[in-house]
Chains A and B, each alone.
Chain A
Amino acid sequence: MNEERVTANLFSEVEFEALFKAHFKELHAYAFSFLKDWDKAEEVVQGLFLKLWEKRELPEMHTSMRSYLYKAAYHDCLNLIRREKVHLQYQTRTAFAMKDESDNAANTVHLREVQVRLSAALNMLPEKCRTVFHLSRFEQLKYRQIADHLGISIKTVEKQMGKALRILRGEMKEFLPLIAVLLFKIFKS
């Protein structure tokens, strides 16, 4: 990922296009994990690339480009949620999206609750924590890859994952006693 750490201060059109195409889809999926709406997610990602283009210069590179983009997406999504109060809509959408996951009625209720709650809990994670967690769980990246992507150490990845888990566990407390049953139904079926 070192080639992404462009040393020149200004983008060329070609560089920018490459950057855009390389990251659009993953950022789109990332924004979707907050907004549960592909169109809104698209707006956010388009918007953040526009802002980046307008500045016409690379952000100061403490870490990596990807790290910067995820950070921007994180803040833009949460701002949008705050502004539009999408969260109301968001919860119903999530519930709806999860409807087909299981055909066992009672199980579905639990599962849906779990998913809705988990989605909401994810939005409580601080930025770095959320990005690391997302790359690990949603993009299925290994710690090594995450570290490379974000220009951080593997140790930091570990720490952030642990932090994410602690926060999520706190948010999911009430579901945890049920886990034995749920786990069996969800993952073994």
Chain B
Amino acid sequence: MREETDEDMLIKYILGETTDTELETIELWLKDDKANMRKLEQVKFILESSQQLAQQSPADEDDQWEKFKIKREALNTRPKVRSITARAGWLQMAAAILIFMGGASAAYYFYKQQTGLNGRLQSFASTDKALIDTLADGSIVHLNRYSSVTCLSDFKKTREVKLTGEAFFEVRHNESVPFIVHAGQVNIRDIGTAFNVKSHTKNVEVVVESGIVRVTKADASVQLNPQQKVMVDNSDNQLHVEQNTDLLYNYYRSNEFIANKTPLWRVIETINEAYDSHIVIADKRLSNLPLTGTFKKESVNKFLQLLLLTTPDIRMENVGDNIILKSK
């Protein structure tokens, strides 16, 4: 046999591709000489080692097809690349016009950016579910239910937002671009902190979790440190700073009501707000009862069950939609 033919035959032999007569020839040839056996081993070695390199594709055809369609779409929207030849002088014209238009629209875009305040600014609102969103500067806003945040500036020189309802802000640190929240007539200004703002028809409450914020209304202004809060009444310009004693304000973010020697009325107030429930404390004595504990935000009924279990002094009555809490 010629060397090449032998080798082809050997491969066939290893791969089990030989016909019966070929098989016999090969086996005889192998017995014929030790060198032939060695050759077989070498070929076998290469064939089998390469088989070990084989890998199955982990991809999924359907996913890949979806990806492909997206890529193809992108391709279609992009103009095709063609060489511009002298023959296609009009193409050069078109290119010039395109470039001009591109430049013009870029200029227009930047102009709009500069002037800001033109409807392109970010704004979002929650309905019956709390939501989290990120502002253009990377600050994170946790919106409580039925609240909204609208950006009032382009976030270049100042970052100003208007809040209705309640939100917790985690402000991305940037000393040169102050962050200002407008809630009613109250302005809250800070540089890079986390704080909660709750704006009611009657008042605005600001609680600082970390960092320092400055709260102003008309001429009055106070500085708040972590775990301090200020309640600003809409009817006057007094700013009263107090120590914030509870973490209840956090409920729509953490989905937990955390009470730490918090008076019952305060807990009930928050529960009513979170669930639109109508729980009323009938007994003055109960009102200031200190509660401690963490309640998962599940349902009003779960909460009431827990409350009754842990506070044996309380009994409950249902009157229509109202739930009345009385002492035993």
Interface residues of A (CB under 8 A from B): 17, 20-21, 24-26, 28-29, 32-33, 38, 41-42, 45-46, 49-50, 53-54, 101, 114-115, 118-119, 122, 133, 136-140, 142-143, 158-159, 161-162, 165-166, 168-169, 172, 176, 179-180, 182-183, 186-187
**B interface residue count range (under 10 / 10 to 19 / 20 to 34 / 35 or more):** 35 or more
How many angstroms from the CA of A128 to the CA of B41 in the assembled complex?
25
Q: State whether B41 touches A158 (Cβ < 8 A).
A: no
Tell me whether A165 and B7 are in contact in the complex, defined as CB-CB below 8 angstroms, given that A42-B59, A176-B45 are known contacts. Answer: yes
Interface string of B32-45 (1 = CB under 8 A from A): 00000000011111
How many angstroms from the CA of A169 to the CA of B71 in the assembled complex?
42
12 A-B interface contacts by CB (under 8 A): A25-B57, A28-B57, A50-B75, A54-B75, A138-B54, A140-B54, A161-B11, A165-B47, A166-B4, A179-B41, A180-B41, A183-B41
Given contacts A24-B65, A161-B11, A179-B45, 8 further A-B contacts (CB under 8 A): A21-B61, A25-B61, A118-B53, A137-B50, A161-B12, A165-B11, A165-B47, A168-B46
Q: State whether A46 touches B49 (Cβ < 8 A).
A: no
Within 8 Å CB of B90, what residues of A? none
Asked if B56 lies at the interface with its beta carbon under 8 angstroms from chain A, I say yes
Residue of A nearest to B7 (CB): A162
Within 8 Å CB of A101, what residues of B? 52
Asked if B85 lies at the interface with its beta carbon under 8 angstroms from chain A, I say no
Q: State whether B65 touches A17 (Cβ < 8 A).
A: yes
Within 8 Å CB of A24, what residues of B? 57, 59, 61, 64-65
Q: State whether B50 touches A118 (Cβ < 8 A).
A: yes
Tell me whether A138 and B53 are in contact in the complex, defined as CB-CB below 8 angstroms, given that A24-B64, A42-B59, A183-B41 are known contacts. Answer: yes
Asked if B62 lies at the interface with its beta carbon under 8 angstroms from chain A, I say yes
Picked from A25, A33, A49, A158, the residue with its CB within 8 Å of the CB of B53 is A33
How many angstroms from the CA of A45 to the CA of B53 in the assembled complex?
19
Q: State whether B61 touches A20 (Cβ < 8 A).
A: yes
Within 8 Å CB of B56, what residues of A? 25, 29
Tell me whether A122 and B50 are in contact in the complex, defined as CB-CB below 8 angstroms, given that A21-B62, A50-B68, A161-B11 are known contacts. Answer: yes
Q: State whether A158 touches B8 (Cβ < 8 A).
A: yes
Residue of A nearest to B67 (CB): A46
Tell me whether A183 and B44 are in contact in the complex, defined as CB-CB below 8 angstroms, given that A25-B61, A26-B57, A118-B53 are known contacts. Answer: yes
Q: State whether B52 touches A115 (Cβ < 8 A).
A: yes
Q: State whether A186 touches B8 (Cβ < 8 A).
A: no
Q: State whether A46 touches B7 (Cβ < 8 A).
A: no
Q: State whether B12 touches A165 (Cβ < 8 A).
A: no
How close is A130's CB to chain B, nearest CB, in angstroms?
Answer: 11
Tell me whether A33 and B55 are in contact in the complex, defined as CB-CB below 8 angstroms, given that A115-B49, A165-B7 are known contacts. Answer: yes
Within 8 Å CB of A122, what residues of B? 50, 53
Asked if B317 lies at the interface with its beta carbon under 8 angstroms from chain A, I say no
How many angstroms from the CA of A101 to the CA of B53 in the assembled complex?
11
